[in-house]
Amino acid sequence: MTYTITLIPGDGIGPEVTTAARKIIDATGVSINWELCEAGASVFKKGQATGVPQETIDSIMRNKVALKGPLETPIGFGEKSANVTLRKLFEAYGNIRPVREIPGIKTPYQGRNIDFVIVRENLEDLYAGIEHMQTPGVAQCLKIISRKGCEKIVRLAFEFARSEGRKSVHCATKANIMKLSEGLLKRTFEEIAAEYTDIKAEHIIVDNAAHQLVRRPEQFEVIVTTNMNGDILSDLGSALIGGLGFAPSANIGDDYAIFEAVHGSAPKYAGKNNINPTAVLMSGVMMLRHLGEFDAANAIEQSLYVTFDIDDKQLRDTKGTDGAISTTEFTDAVIANLGKKHPTCPSRAYHPIKLPKVSKEPDLVKVKTRQVNGIDVFLESAAAVNEIGATLESALIDAPVCLKMISSRGVKLYPGTNPTADVVDMLTARLMVRDSTYSLTDMDIARVIEKISPCYRWNHIEKLNVFDGKPGYTKSHGEE
């Protein structure tokens, strides 16, 4: 059969690395009709604000699979990254980043058999990019984590582990500090792990995960994590095996899959014919496995191992300028070695991945009871906190809420004294219902704000929800 696949050469070194990958994939005999599409810098420069033209979107919609080179977001043209736009447009919620030692690539870890995969949530977290200046001097970025997003990524991680015959999955979070957001991934992981009794499931705090990845990376098989953690851990991972030139990735969704190197467009190397195409080629290998072309995928992987290790043919990034071969010479060498097998490094026994099915209902989590038992009002003021406290208490004297405390950047300042706190001009007034059984209405909140506005500028309000009796908010440091 012939596959039709969208190919986005991309910017900088993108055309060189994707040409190399395409030539090698074609040489395996898998029949692919490549549909060439644009995205990135050239598109921004034409005045297209998203960096992704409609023809490219239509092509991926039709073909369901794309191989893409790196895309730049030129400063001054458009705000959002075209890469992130593509991932979001196609609901590619899972970013799979394998980190496997490549024979012949010299690193301090050579011989340690590093072979793990980071499964990074790709759409939520701080990368939702919802940012606001709360005051002229205080910025805020919302960390959005949903139960649905967690369930999808956790199931994908377990299914991926099964497809590669792996025996353990670690979940790396900062749930000890961000108990609700990062904690949601931890809790979801622990619930879903019970369904995968054939796989050992373990939670690890993400900073320790970084430490352990450097000390003993061979202990990991699959690490599932949130978007930001995954971004950082996977770059760390790529450095363990030789650098960004060796780090492939797959963006997986229910219906679409986009394969790309982890690296960017490395503009200083563009057109020099000395860049390493392995990362995008290995992304192509992941694509072949996604298509069920396991033999062709293994043939490329083995040929790469033979080229690097047995023939000792290396590129600038691992050999320096002396003795390195060019990108095109490397491409020819890998093609010439197709069919050869590395004597000691077999490819894994891969199996088709079963994509998880998670309900598409927007309100995945339903509750029986809910109460709004207060509000947090974010005020902009440079006044002394005791003065603000006294003013709010008198302004709210006949309101259904009273001032419980004032905090700054998550630390309680009022009532009481916190002599060491260095405050900024964004303060949070926590107002709680006077009658603990009462649930605030929107009209109550509007009236409370009416009372506060003449005294202080407010920029933001959060309802303090209680779902099924459990507070849906955390306490400040120092709050009782």
Kindly list the residues in this chain that would bind ligand NAP in the complex (CB under 6 A).
Answer: 13, 17, 70-73, 83, 243-245, 260, 263-266, 275-276, 279, 317
Between the alpha carbon of residue 143 and those of residues 40, 150, 189, 200, 281, the distances in Å are 26, 13, 19, 29, 33
**Considering beta carbons, is residue 276 or 476 the nearer one to ligand NAP?**
276
**Considering beta carbons, is residue 21 or 388 the nearer one to ligand NAP?**
21
**Considering beta carbons, is residue 70 or 356 the nearer one to ligand NAP?**
70
> If residue 202 lies in a helix (H) or strand (E), which one and from where to where?
strand 200-205
Closest CA to 255 of 79, 61, 4, 26: 61
Least distance from ligand NAP to the Cβ atom of residue 257, Å: 15
Which residue numbers are catalytic? 127, 174, 207, 231
Tally helices (H) and strands (E) across the chain. 14, 18
**CB-closest chain residue to ligand NAP:** 264
Question: Sign of dihedral through CA atoms 446, 448, 450, 453?
Answer: negative
Alpha carbon 195 to chain centroid, angstroms: 24
* CA–CA separation, 338 and 222 (whole Å): 29
Give the position of tokens 């929800």: 465
* CA–CA separation, 362 and 29 (whole Å): 43
Beta carbons of 25 and 288 less than 8 angstroms apart: yes
Beta carbons of 108 and 213 less than 8 angstroms apart: no
Beta carbons of 94 and 152 less than 8 angstroms apart: yes
Least distance from ligand NAP to the Cβ atom of residue 320, Å: 10
Least distance from ligand NAP to the Cβ atom of residue 114, Å: 19
Beta carbons of 8 and 69 less than 8 angstroms apart: yes
* CA–CA separation, 310 and 445 (whole Å): 71
**Considering beta carbons, is residue 17 or 401 the nearer one to ligand NAP?**
17
**Considering beta carbons, is residue 86 or 213 the nearer one to ligand NAP?**
86
The two three-digit tokens of residue 389, written as one number: 């406290």
Least distance from ligand NAP to the Cβ atom of residue 294, Å: 25
Least distance from ligand NAP to the Cβ atom of residue 69, Å: 7
Give the position of tokens 């009796």: 469
Least distance from ligand NAP to the Cβ atom of residue 24, Å: 15
